[in-house]
Amino acid sequence: MLGYFQRLGERSLSMLERLGRGTIFFLKVLMAIPSVLIRPRLLIAQLHSVGVLSFSLIVVAGLFVGMVLALQGFYTLSDFGAEGMLGVMVAASLIRELGPVVAGLLFAGRAGSALTAEIGLMKATEQLSGMEMMAVDPMARVIAPRFLAGLISMPLLASLFTAVGVLGGHLIGVGLLGIDEGGYWSQIQAKIDFREDVMNGLIKSIVFGWVITWVAVFEGYDAIPTSDGVSRATTRTVVHSAFAVLLLDFILTALMFGGI
């Protein structure tokens, strides 16, 4: 009985400790960001590996999510003779929820895991301590550019996902199901509010980009420097950032749209 409580206490203490280390790590990253702005070439290399290489995945996923939403939405809406609202349904669900969340989950799987594995392997092969020996700050040289690249890429990728999804819905709705072209856009423009919907979706994607990249670089930096440790850290990145995205999405949705 006492052993059970002891294990529970140990678990919670170590969780709190990780959270504290993560926060201190985040503050250190923030302090290292100015030195990245002096050397923008570091950032460009990371924007390429984090953003550009996720590009095709996001475009294809967005297109298919939009097309499936249109097909399924049409099935329900046609029962009520409200096919004209298809565009609104596709655009609202993509802008408010699916765009930031699905793009975030894909981003965590595609870019977050790669970040953790790369940094973890750098640590395991003692490249990070090598840098410190040469008086090069690994925070400024390795961690901060990656963090900033993730923070910049995620809102762009989420916007891209949403835009391609709306176009995919248009492709299916107007091209295949025969909804009026003008009605599709005019219904969307009548219903979707710029500040209420588009801006809130953008805020969501920025928050998700922040939390995913933070978890990814911290797990890599904090990994046990063995092949097993790096593998565990990579798994943890995907699982923890997915949970964080879903939890934060619920909180943000309740704050943004809860009153409606």
Partner 1 sequence: MHISRSMEVFVGLFVAIGLIALFFLSMQVSNLSASSNGSGYNVRAYFENVGSLKVRAPVSIAGVKVGRVTAIEFDAQEFEAVVTMTIESKYNQLPIDSDASILTAGLLGEQFIGLEPGGEDEFLKEGSRLELTQSALVLEKLIGQFLFNGQSGD
**What part of residues 90-119 is at the interface with partner 1 (CB under 8 A)?**
91, 95
Residue 114: name the closest of 26, 258, 241, 243 by CA.
241
Residue 174: name the closest of 185, 165, 164 by CA.
185
Closest to partner 1 by CB, 14 or 78: 78
Binding-site size for partner 1 (CB under 8 A) equals 34
57 is a contact residue toward partner 1 (CB under 8 A): no
- How far is the C-alpha of 171 from the C-alpha of 159, rounded, in Å? 18
151 is a contact residue toward partner 1 (CB under 8 A): no
Which of 69, 160, 244, 252 is in the footprint of partner 1 by CB under 8 A?
A: 160
**What part of residues 1-40 is at the interface with partner 1 (CB under 8 A)?**
none
- How far is the C-alpha of 65 from the C-alpha of 105, rounded, in Å? 14
Which of 3, 41, 135, 259 is in the footprint of partner 1 by CB under 8 A?
A: 41
194 is a contact residue toward partner 1 (CB under 8 A): yes
- How far is the C-alpha of 55 from the C-alpha of 107, rounded, in Å? 10
Burial class (CB in 10 A: 0-12, 13-18, 19+), 232: middle
Q: Given the rule CB under 8 A, which residues bind partner 1?
A: 41-42, 44-45, 47-48, 51-52, 55, 80, 82, 91, 95, 152-153, 155-157, 159-160, 162-164, 166, 185, 188-190, 192-194, 197-198, 202
